[in-house]
Amino acid sequence: METFLLDKQYKHILEIVSQVSKKPTKEISFNDLETELNLTQKTIKTYLYTLLIYCERNDLKTFTLEKGKLKMLLKTDFNYFDLYHYLIQKSVKYQIIMSILTNPKITFTELYLDLKLSRSNASLHIKQLNDFLKPYHCKISFLQNNPLQGEEHQIRFLYYNLLLGCNIDQIITTSPSLDQVT
């Protein structure tokens, strides 16, 4: 599953779910999570709080915390891909890409103010996005009228894959350029 667009905390939340689901008893101690993920207990608790809020909002009783352990209850409607989709939509890089899609004339200042980011943080995410966009022959540049620069068919291919949740890296390795498509 593609995790590039996910913020670091969201990657860790997915990893926590993965770790607990791998255990035969479907429970894992905070100490084990600390060791496995190389995180502090305070950070783990913060991430678990985010996970529990997601479950509560979706009326899921999938996870419980008892005696320093996270327990995953089976036979609930919890869906890993729904969680992944939810976390992607909350991630900064995804919000940047979608802001540019919904407002093609957006300025850099409007973008970082709308997303409540610092100027430097927005610049860092855009640099990371530009590294990711290279195989598409696209880039984000606010020096032009339209921030997302590239051939129209490449931009359409990018958004098609982002919006449908395809694994973009696998698609790009088999088809690095759409120039040959007629």
Alpha helix stretches (DSSP H) within the chain: 8-22, 30-37, 41-57, 80-90, 92-102, 108-114, 119-133, 152-164, 168-174
Q: Does a structural domain hold residue 181?
A: no
CATH of the domain at 24: 1.10.10.10
Same domain for 71 and 112: no
Residue at a domain's end among 44, 68, 85: 85
Residue at a domain's end among 85, 107, 141: 85
Q: Which band of pLDDT confidence, cut at 50, 70 and 90, is reported for residue 47?
A: very high
Same domain for 147 and 110: yes
Same domain for 151 and 116: yes
Are 77 and 40 spatial neighbours (Cβ–Cβ below 8 Å)?
no
Residue at a domain's end among 85, 114, 139: 85
Q: Does a structural domain hold residue 95?
A: yes
Q: Which band of pLDDT confidence, cut at 50, 70 and 90, is reported for residue 178?
A: very low
Same domain for 80 and 42: yes
Q: pLDDT for 69-91, tens place per residue? A: 999 998 889 989 889 989 998 99
List Cα–Cα distances, 178 to 54, 65, 119, 139, 153, in angstroms.
38, 49, 34, 16, 7
**Amino acid at site 166:** C
CA R_g for the chain:
19
Q: Does a structural domain hold residue 163?
A: yes
- Domain extent for 132: 91-174
Extract the tokens encoding 26.
């479907």
CATH of the domain at 166: 1.10.10
Q: Which band of pLDDT confidence, cut at 50, 70 and 90, is reported for residue 1?
A: low
Quote the number of domains for the chain: 2
The pTM score is 0.81
Q: What's the mean pLDDT when you consider all of the chain?
A: 87
Other CB atoms within 10 Å distance of the CB of residue 122: 20
Same domain for 122 and 60: no
Q: pLDDT for 94-105, tens place per residue? A: 999 999 988 999
Q: pLDDT for 145-161, tens place per residue? A: 889 999 999 988 888 87
